[in-house]
Amino acid sequence: MILVIGAAQTPFNRRRDGTGFRDWACEAFEAARAMAGIDRSDIDALIVASESDFFTLQLNPASVLAQDFGLNEAETLRVEGGGATGQLAVHAGVERILSGRARYVAVVGVDPSASALAGDSIRALYGYSFDFWTDGLAGVTATSLYALSWQAFAAEHRGTGDDLNAVTIKNRGNAMCNPHAHLPRQHTSEDFADSPMIAAPYCRLHCSPLSDGAAALILSAPDAAPDNRRNFAPQITGIGAASDLPGLGHRKAPGTFAAKTKAARRAFDMAGLSAAQIAVAEVYDAYAGAEMQAVTALGLAEDPLRTLRDGGFDADGGCPINLSGGLMGQGAPVGATGVGQTASCALLLEGRYHAGLQPDRPLGHALADTHGGVGTTCAVTVLSAGAVA
């Protein structure tokens, strides 16, 4: 078990203030370090989550950020796994401590996914997120692949366009109470009829935005945590990852995120928990339907679409999904996304999340989930409340 003694993020949005990714990374790191109450010299390793050098125009970004953070002698590592980049970096940090190589690890996710390049350039780059030599040769976009995958899921589970709208309304509505959110919106069902179709059935409102931003965690070995954090800090109790074939067509069921199920099982086994014990989850909703595909794969409800329709994933439901607003509402600076999810879960478990989103009941366990590709590289983290929650 690893303690999360510091957790912070910057706003996720499109920056127009002249700042850059190094500024945001410093802001998130310093906020997390202040919460942790440790010195820079205490930090043994820095794990940086950044999806693409095409965004930052900086190879080996971990070395540059270590310099900016004043961590000159720390071990540095950059992690990349598509959309799963942030969560995989969290796992790398956890493993550094579990192996005994570090007592304190800083995990910082950052990407300028919105402001560095034009939207068409980003879309072109994301086309290389899939197997360039096969699916990529069709010229297919991420939205089109997700749309085909949702169609397969919907055919099996009787998903509807209303379900896609409901996820969007829920997540962007949650984002209304999140001051860091990129797209806080109070959508109504009528909004969707006017939204341009990107790849049927996905209209623009069903897609997550491209965002700028950073998030940071300070992880600690249990016996190394400062006295004022040792008993209160949430714990990472389980990590799990798995991969699927990149080509949707090569999978037995192109609408099923099978690797996510395996990743979750590994995380639950490590934590000694089951999906039924999860009280709140941050789930990878790059597209509205992907949230339902993810919730199904994670086993967070027996009948996920029925639970969605009944409000079970709402902020006041039995298992709130994406209280932050998720990628759709809070935003998606790719490397920061998974780190931000874990930060949100940690703050929720400690009762320190945004007013209006913090449930008024004690939360025992939370789950953070990301994937790269269309459910291809999957990474799941399970967190539990601190000893004195």
- Which one, 38 or 145, has the nearer CB to another protein? 145
In angstroms, the CA 153 to CA 296 distance is 10
- Nearest distance in Å: CB 123, another protein: 8
User: Cβ neighbours of residue 343 under 8 Å, at least 6 residues apart?
Assistant: 4, 7, 8, 9, 32, 215, 216, 217
Alpha carbon distance 215, 341 (integer Å) = 9
Main-chain phi, psi angles of 108, to 5 degrees: -125, 125
Q: How far is the CB of 332 from another protein (least distance, A)?
A: 17
Nearer to another protein, 200 or 276 (CB): 200
Q: What angle do CA 342, 153, 257 make, to 5 degrees?
A: 40
DSSP assignment of 30-49, as one string?
Answer: HHHHHHHT--GGG--EEEEE
Residue 333, Ramachandran bin (φ over 0: left; ψ between -120 and 50: alpha; else beta): beta
Nearest distance from C-beta of residue 165 to another protein, angstroms:
16
**Least separation in angstroms between CB 133 and another protein:** 6
Q: Which is nearer to another protein, 29 or 130 (CB)?
A: 130
Cβ-based nearer residue to another protein, 39 or 156: 156
Cα separation, 343 vs 32, in Å, equals 9
Question: What angle, 0 to 180 degrees and rounded to 10, lies between the N-to-C axes of helices 161-175 and 288-298?
Answer: 90
Q: Rank residues 202 and 284 by Cβ distance to another protein and give the closer one.
A: 202
Q: Which residues pair with 236 in a beta bridge?
A: 2, 383
Which residue, among 330, 329, 311, 309, has the nearest Cα to 320 in the 3D structure?
A: 311
In this complex, which beta carbon is closest to another protein, that of residue 203 or of residue 385? 203
Q: How far is the CB of 201 from another protein (least distance, A)?
A: 8
CB 53, min distance to another protein, A: 11
- Minimum distance of another protein from residue 170's CB (angstroms): 23
Tell me 10's DSSP state: P
Instruction: Round to whole Å and give the CA distance between 325 and 184.
Output: 8
Question: Nearest Cα to 244, choosing from 60, 373, 104?
Answer: 373
Residue closer to another protein by CB (options 74, 242) is 242
Contact residues: another protein, CB under 8 A = 57, 123, 131, 133-135, 137-141, 143-145, 147-148, 151-152, 196-203, 245, 247-251, 254
Q: Can you read off the two tokens belonging to residue 389?
A: 């929650």
Q: Which is nearer to another protein, 111 or 350 (CB)?
A: 111
CB of residue 196 vs another protein: minimum separation in angstroms?
6
Tokens read off for 238: 């389980």
